[in-house]
Amino acid sequence: MRSIALFGLGLGFLLMGAGLFALTLRKPAKPAPANPNAKQQRELAVLAEEKKKMHIAAACAAGFGVALMGVSFL
């Protein structure tokens, strides 16, 4: 069936997932302090959790893109 539209859509999702993953690899503007207080530790924990969620979202988007590209070749 080789649908060019499905392949293009899949490629778009794949690139979106890769871009989202690349955004999570950026380093923060200012590094974490050597001895963080409780507030800074909570903030770092929240940022780490958000980064984990972004990695999962990027993997889901890329996986969906690969699935669409695979379906286009059936």
Q: How far is CA 66 from the centre of its chain?
A: 15
Please give the pLDDT value at position 27.
79
pLDDT in tens, 1-11: 578 999 999 99
Please give the pLDDT value at position 69.
92
pLDDT in tens, 9-53: 999 999 999 999 999 888 777 777 788 899 988 988 998 899 999
Backbone angle region of 2, left / alpha / beta, with phi > 0 → left and psi within -120 to 50 → alpha = left
Q: What is the DSSP letter of 36?
A: -
Please give the pLDDT value at position 1.
59
> Would you say residue 67 has pLDDT above 90?
yes
